[in-house]
């Protein structure tokens, strides 16, 4: 990652109340790549984070996403994938608990604003009580990403808990 002013905080959210989704919208297209750092707790615990992309303020909820996961549980290593889904899965075994600070996830979204290629996101999710995951997600769209929405469980059927943090950074190549 580049140093100094090429690594720019775009937006940050620390939840003041429980909420089922967190959205970064109107993301400028002036960066090269995006990084999102999430430290979240979820009601009920052991519930995954999912995310979707959008353009023009509209989130794509169609079956345009796929995910491949490399995971470790502490006793077993393996891989899982799902295709033509309506979301990207951010974690598989490293799902957040209901305790703040127990999990962290870092997303890297490359070349997010181009309008010629599908978009790939890499993610490392960590929840040392549950597992460690490395995932890749694909959005099969050539639209520029200007919106990212995170969901607590499928379509936000759970809540991110108060105090969870979400920060979006932009990385500029030059």
Partner 1 sequence: MANTYTLIEAKTLSSAVTNVEFASIPSTYTDLLIKISARSDYAAVADNLYIRFNNDSGSNYVRKEIYGSGTSAASYGGTATAFEYVYFNGSTSTANTFGNFEMYIPNYASSNQKSFSIDNAREGNATSGDLQLEAGLWTGTAAISSIKFIDQTTGNFVVNSTFYLYGIKNS
Nearer to partner 1, 37 or 138 (CB): 37
CB of 152 to partner 1, least distance (A): 17
CA distance 154 to 18: 16
Residues that bind partner 1 (CB under 8 A): 1-9, 12, 37, 39, 70-77, 94, 99-104, 106, 124-132, 134, 163, 165, 167, 169
What's the min distance (Å) between Cβ of 38 and partner 1? Answer: 8
Determine the straight-line distance between the first and last CA of the chain, rounded to whole angstroms.
12
Which residue's structure tokens are 């989130």?
59
Task: State in angstroms the smallest separation of the CB of 40 from partner 1.
Answer: 10
Determine contact, residues 84/62, Cβ cutoff 8 Å.
no
- Three-state DSSP at 61 gives coil
Q: In 3-state terms, what secondary structure has residue 116?
A: coil
Token pair, residue 88, equals 């990207």
Contacts of 60 (CB under 8 A, 6+ apart): 52, 53, 54, 139, 141, 143
Residue pair 36/122 in contact by the 8 Å Cβ criterion? no
Nearest approach, Cβ of 86 to partner 1 (angstroms)? 27
Nearest CB to partner 1, comparing residues 17 and 116: 17
| Beta carbon nearer to partner 1, 64 or 161 | 161
Identify the helix (H) or strand (E) that includes residue 39: strand 33-39
Q: Which is nearer to partner 1, 123 or 153 (CB)?
A: 123
In the complex, least distance from residue 132 CB atom to partner 1, rounded to whole angstroms = 4
Measured from the CB atom, is 133 or 146 closer to partner 1?
Answer: 133
């Amino acid at each position: 990652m580049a140093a100094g002013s090429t690594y720019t905080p775009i937006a940050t959210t620390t939840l003041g109340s429980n909420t089922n989704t967190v959205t970064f919208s109107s993301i400028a297209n002036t960066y090269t790549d995006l990084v999102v750092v999430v430290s979240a707790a979820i009601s009920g615990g052991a519930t995954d984070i999912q995310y979707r992309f959008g353009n023009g303020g509209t989130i794509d909820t169609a079956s345009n996403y796929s995910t491949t996961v490399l995971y470790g549980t502490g006793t077993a290593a393996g891989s899982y994938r799902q295709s033509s889904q309506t979301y990207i899965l951010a974690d598989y075994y490293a799902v957040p608990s209901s305790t703040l600070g127990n999990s962290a996830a870092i997303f890297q979204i490359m070349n997010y604003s181009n309008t010629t290629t599908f978009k790939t996101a890499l993610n490392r999710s960590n929840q040392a009580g549950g597992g460690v995951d490395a995932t890749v997600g694909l959005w099969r769209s050539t639209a520029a990403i200007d919106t990212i929405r995170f969901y607590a469980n499928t379509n936000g059927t759970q809540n991110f808990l108060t105090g969870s943090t979400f920060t979006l950074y932009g990385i500029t190549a030059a």
